[in-house]
Structure 1
Amino acid sequence: MTKGNEKGVLKLNLAENQKGSGRKSLARAVSLHLDGEPEQALRELSEAVAKDAGQAHLHSAIGHIQFELGRFAEAASSYARVVELDAKNPSSHFNLAVALGKLERWEDAAASFSRSLELDPGRSEARLALATCMLHLDRSDGALEVLDKQPAGNPQDPPALFSKAVALQMLGKLDEAAVIYLQILQAQPGAEDSLSNLIAINLERRDFLAVRKYAEKLLALRPDSAPALEALAASAFSSGEHEAAAKYCAALAKASPDRYQNWFNLGIAQQKLGRHKESVEAYKQAVKSAPEGAPERTQIYLNLGLALQEMNELAAARDVYDKALKMDSSSAAVLWNLALVLEQLGDRQGAEELYERMPADAAEVQDALFRLGYLRLEREDTAGAIEAFQSCLKKDPEWHEARLNLGIAYWRLKDAQSARQAFEAVLKAKPESVEAIRGLAALALEREDFAQAFDLHFQLISLGERNPEVFYNAGLLAQKKGKTEDAVRFYEEALAEKPVFPEALLNLGHAHKALGKEEEARACWRKALESKPELAESYFEAAMK
């Protein structure tokens, strides 16, 4: 938000009773100043002050030249001396306040403007400057109070109106502030500060149509206006117009290449467009431009890592995430993405360690616990997997995938009862869960409950499961139940899914033989033994029965 300035117009009041030598020195200083020799003018005045330090007009003239030369601290010292010598002169306090404002010493500047107003209550420029100081001190109420005491004269004075609008805006009274800015623009269509602040108000309101309207007006007045380009980029992002956002961000980056935010936003736009190579380049520029202490550096590295992941440059992404983690060791997003990259690179142990470090209050913690359980299950740490999946279910009791994997972990731990309870709980919530039915079928086979195992396998097939092992097991179970014709059908389905399946061929042969189809049986056995000669032993065992 643009807050205005403290009206840097100095008042040079010469005392009427100047002493002779001081008058001559001042005259020579004025002549030198007019000739464009400010340093010589200062030297002339300083020599005069050395002879007689009690003349306020000499210190005032010195302060005036110092201010013109941008030596605001020296000017403030000179004007402070003027105030000591001429405390009743409102211009002395006013000039001191202006110099202090240039030094951003707002508290001291406000005190001097206040003293100037006490001595000259009708001085509108001092009142406006005091209000501006109050705004810089975030004392919006105080600024409004000062402006409301403005003497009758020109209540529509644009600077006063602007300061009042800023105060209202800072107090969150956006509608009232907007009305005043529009009033100013009606009188002064080229008032850039009012346009900038209207943009800020509508950004806060998230009214991006209005943002675009005022930003385009500002851009027409000043084609390189950073606030206008930033606002148009924000508007484009909000409406998903990433091509336009990229255009505005590129213009900002070109105009201010040292401003890392411009490169960062350009990287986001390019990333949204799927231009990962370009986004990587933009993020790298953001890294170069961002100072070491910038709080956004971690986010820049995170986005750079994501773009590298999209390009499948996993080793480079890992290095970037490592740098981000050194800056913020508890960043959940960095921990999560680095762990995923390590998994892809085959460093399962490193990934586990990162998942374990995930902050308990992070949004990613649930997914991290799930991945942790999965990795532990893969390396046969069933107890650790159970612990992780139980933690998942504490956070979300309806997380069926976690409960399913918990059942698998219990099964591998040989805790059939707990495994069965987990699978049944999933099946109750999701009656068509193929994974839960498959788990219950495996448990039924283990305890030789062939009737239930057959029912569960048949249920899997009914749900469209085309797994050759499921068909094979269904065939075995049907054969055990004496349903030979069903067994033949299931074995043939298994072979349709997996043509080279010697065990299915062998048992299909036995089923054909049981149905009296000797020729078909021999054909199946020959194919089975050709694929897997060691099945000959199974053939003779079956033949003896």
Structure 2
Amino acid sequence: MSKIILITILVGVAILSLQPQSLHSQTLMDERSLIAYLRGTFYEARGNYPEAYQWYSYSSNREPQCKRIKLSLARISLELGYLDRARSYSTDVLTDKRYEAEASMILAQVEYLEGNKEKALGLLENLRSRNDVPRFEILKFLSRIYLEMGRIDDAQKTLEEAKAIFPEDLYVNYRLGVIYTRAGDLDRAIESFRKVVEISPDFSGAQLALASILDHVGKKDEAELYYKSVLKLDPGNTDALNALSQLYLEEGEFEKGIELLRPLFRQGKLDDRGEVNYGRFLYEAGKLDGALNIFKRILDEQGEKPAVLRVIAEIEVSRKHYKTAYGYLKRLIDLEPDNFSNYMGLLLVAYNVAGEPASKDEAVSVSDEERRRYLEKASKLVSNDSFDGNYLFGVIYSDLKEYDKAERYLRRAERLKPDDRGNLLELASLYEKRGMYGEAIERLKKLWEAFPDDPTIANFYGYVLAEKGEELDFAERLLKKALSKEPENGYFLDSLGWILFRKKNYREAAKTLKRAIEKAGDDAVIWEHLGDAYLKLGERTKAISAYDRSLKANPSNDKLKEKVKSLKGR
């Protein structure tokens, strides 16, 4: 309404410069009416609308045909919320071409306030192209209605037209920033919000919007500055606080996050998300006891919260407290049984994929039936697009010796990330176990080309080549290179010994395999390899002894049992 007030002031100034007769369309015979009108403009300019209304009414009563006075009454009635009166006065004024435009604007505002947006639009669109109206104000008003009606394209065009008239308007630039953001036109959104901040440096909403976009496009340093500026203007702004916290988490700036949230945490001013973020900062910074205390307190005070249970379980897994973590993960699944991510941690610890526990007391002891129940439920939830999920299922099913299922999941993971080192190794291992050496070699060759100095890959590649019986000279070079990096590795020595065996160099194979046992200990596979070497050398007694040691380490090798039985029966 500021533009209307400005027009009123200008009208009042103009009146003062005129002869009394000029106020009426022809002549103004009643000087009291003129004085009352001027008093009305005085009070209107100062925002005293009730007093202005009284003086305009007095003036109109004395000059009932004067359209200018009725226009003033329409304007003041609108300010006072007398919508019916505003409609009546402005409708009466429409017949006078001199005041038609302003009367139409008042009518448009009345229709808008009464919820008749289509009627308001019609009135404003009729005024849009006229030169005798305040076009900028009309365009702003139009854009507001377009936005409320969901006509975003029309709103954008109208606001851009308004900006061409007056580029420094805060409302126009802010609304354009919002529209550009929703449309994904982030460069223009940034430009618009920068302009808003330039016009009004204390407008925290514009700074927050600008910070969010800068954060999204990767301009983290600048985003951080604006988030901090918002918090300086509005210390209680939780959106800015949480966004800045998230930025610090993503950037690994955990100490900054602790510094940001610690004072508010101590004052009890953090919301639920803020407390969770503070706990995460402590966790990521390695302050596990402090993090656990916070999260457990949140559970005690606020009840079961999935986000909190998830982080506690994550912390306990990182501490290798698998039994404790398993308990929290079960509670989490009870709350969110259809959230696949909840099953990931549980399956990791239930199937011993996470590694050895910190102590025997923290080992997960759970029935096969219970583990299988969670596994089957999770298998129905895993997405074809989840690399981590498919990889985990591949590892678990491979350990369970359900190789067809394992292959299906690992191949799916391979399609998602063809060059992932862990998945390629797992696939190669699976194919090696199944005797599908060509498939294994295909993956190992790819890995070796990507990691030519990795001794583990060189060892595995060389061993599988030996199993297939091809490129044995190359396989031997691979193992010698691996042993140059880890000369005391018994498993590398076993691979070299097996390559020598395949090359029919049985004497050197036996020597190398004996060294492998010295380094690796009682390994069933190495003892069996040594037995095979002795057998080829004709040393039957030594072969049987080596096979017996292999069976002691792995009593379930039925194939070897038959071989030993046959040897002893000769």
TM-score (norm. length: structure 1): 0.61
Tell me, yes or no, if structure 1 residue 399 matches structure 2 residue 388. Answer: no
Task: Give 1:108's aligned residue.
Answer: 188
Alignment partner of 2:329 out of 219, 242, 245: 245
For residues 502 and 391 of structure 1, do their structure 2 counterparts lie closer, same or farther at Cα, with a shift above 3 Å needed? same
Tell me, yes or no, if structure 1 residue 78 matches structure 2 residue 158. Answer: yes
Task: Give 2:173's aligned residue.
Answer: 93
The 8 Å contact of residues 165 and 177 in structure 1, kept in 2 or not, is answered as no
Q: Which structure 2 residues correspond to residues 75-474 of structure 1 after superposition, within 5 A?
A: 75-103=155-183, 105-121=185-201, 126=206, 130-131=210-211, 134-136=214-216, 138-139=218-219, 141-142=221-222, 157-159=235-237, 162=240, 166=244, 169=248, 174-184=254-264, 189=269, 191-192=271-272, 194-195=274-275, 197-211=277-291, 228=308, 230-239=310-319, 240=322, 241-248=325-332, 251-252=335-336, 254=338, 262-274=339-351, 275-287=371-383, 290=385, 297-360=386-449, 361=451, 365-366=457-458, 368-369=460-461, 371-373=463-465, 375-376=467-468, 386=476, 389-390=479-480, 392-404=482-494, 406-407=496-497, 409-410=499-500, 413-415=503-505, 418-419=508-509, 422=512, 442=534
For residues 364 and 163 of structure 1, do their structure 2 counterparts lie closer, same or farther at Cα, with a shift above 3 Å needed? same
Q: Secondary structure at the match of 1:16?
A: helix
Q: Percent identity?
A: 16
For residues 465 and 345 of structure 1, do their structure 2 counterparts lie closer, same or farther at Cα, with a shift above 3 Å needed? closer
Task: Give 1:539's aligned residue.
Answer: none
The 8 Å contact of residues 458 and 479 in structure 2, kept in 1 or not, is answered as no
The 8 Å contact of residues 258 and 281 in structure 2, kept in 1 or not, is answered as yes
The 8 Å contact of residues 128 and 139 in structure 2, kept in 1 or not, is answered as yes
For residues 283 and 41 of structure 1, do their structure 2 counterparts lie closer, same or farther at Cα, with a shift above 3 Å needed? farther
Alignment partner of 2:124 out of 45, 52, 58: 45
The 8 Å contact of residues 15 and 57 in structure 1, kept in 2 or not, is answered as no
- 1:287-320, CA deviations, whole angstroms, 9 ceiling, x for partnerless residues? 25x4xxxxxx333322222233344432232233
Once the two structures are TM-superposed, the CA of residue 372 in structure 1 deviates from its matched residue by 0.6
For residues 280 and 16 of structure 1, do their structure 2 counterparts lie closer, same or farther at Cα, with a shift above 3 Å needed? same
Aligned partners of 1:158 and 1:245: how far apart in 2?
34
Once the two structures are TM-superposed, the CA of residue 55 in structure 1 deviates from its matched residue by 1.2
Once the two structures are TM-superposed, the CA of residue 389 in structure 1 deviates from its matched residue by 4.5
For residues 96 and 176 of structure 1, do their structure 2 counterparts lie closer, same or farther at Cα, with a shift above 3 Å needed? same
The farther-off stretch of 117-126 and 265-274 is: 117-126
Aligned partners of 1:498 and 1:443: how far apart in 2?
14
The 8 Å contact of residues 276 and 307 in structure 1, kept in 2 or not, is answered as no
Q: Secondary structure at the match of 1:285?
A: coil
Aligned partners of 2:477 and 2:395: how far apart in 1?
30
Q: Secondary structure at the match of 1:87?
A: coil
Q: Secondary structure at the match of 1:287?
A: coil
The 8 Å contact of residues 72 and 103 in structure 1, kept in 2 or not, is answered as no
For residues 307 and 25 of structure 1, do their structure 2 counterparts lie closer, same or farther at Cα, with a shift above 3 Å needed? farther
The 8 Å contact of residues 326 and 346 in structure 2, kept in 1 or not, is answered as yes
Q: Which has the higher contact order (CA 8 A, sep 6+)?
A: 1
For residues 15 and 401 of structure 1, do their structure 2 counterparts lie closer, same or farther at Cα, with a shift above 3 Å needed? same
The 8 Å contact of residues 393 and 409 in structure 2, kept in 1 or not, is answered as yes
TM-score (norm. length: structure 2): 0.59
For residues 20 and 309 of structure 1, do their structure 2 counterparts lie closer, same or farther at Cα, with a shift above 3 Å needed? farther
The 8 Å contact of residues 143 and 156 in structure 2, kept in 1 or not, is answered as yes
Aligned partners of 1:110 and 1:499: how far apart in 2?
81
For residues 310 and 71 of structure 1, do their structure 2 counterparts lie closer, same or farther at Cα, with a shift above 3 Å needed? farther
Aligned partners of 1:236 and 1:467: how far apart in 2?
38
- 1:34-66, CA deviations, whole angstroms, 9 ceiling, x for partnerless residues? 344445543443343255686111211222233
Aligned partners of 2:207 and 2:229: how far apart in 1?
9
- 1:345-364, CA deviations, whole angstroms, 9 ceiling, x for partnerless residues? 45455445444444342685
Task: Give 2:57's aligned residue.
Answer: none
What letter is aligned with 1:263? F
Q: Secondary structure at the match of 1:422?
A: helix
- 1:169-228, CA deviations, whole angstroms, 9 ceiling, x for partnerless residues? 487664454444344567774635534543553353244555555557778999897755
Once the two structures are TM-superposed, the CA of residue 381 in structure 1 deviates from its matched residue by 8.4
Tell me, yes or no, if structure 1 residue 31 matches structure 2 residue 110. Answer: yes
Once the two structures are TM-superposed, the CA of residue 277 in structure 1 deviates from its matched residue by 4.6
Q: Pairwise CA RMSD of aligned residues?
A: 5.2
Aligned partners of 2:426 and 2:391: how far apart in 1?
8
What letter is aligned with 1:31? V
Aligned partners of 1:431 and 1:191: how far apart in 2?
56
Where structure 2 has 5 or more consecutive residues not aligned to the other structure, the ranges are 8-97, 352-370, 552-563
The 8 Å contact of residues 42 and 62 in structure 1, kept in 2 or not, is answered as yes
The 8 Å contact of residues 407 and 427 in structure 2, kept in 1 or not, is answered as yes
Aligned partners of 2:192 and 2:221: how far apart in 1?
19
Aligned partners of 1:309 and 1:47: how far apart in 2?
74
What letter is aligned with 2:483? L
Count of residue pairs the alignment pairs up: 437
For residues 322 and 78 of structure 1, do their structure 2 counterparts lie closer, same or farther at Cα, with a shift above 3 Å needed? same
Where structure 1 has 5 or more consecutive residues not aligned to the other structure, the ranges are 1-11, 255-261, 291-296, 447-452, 469-496, 504-545
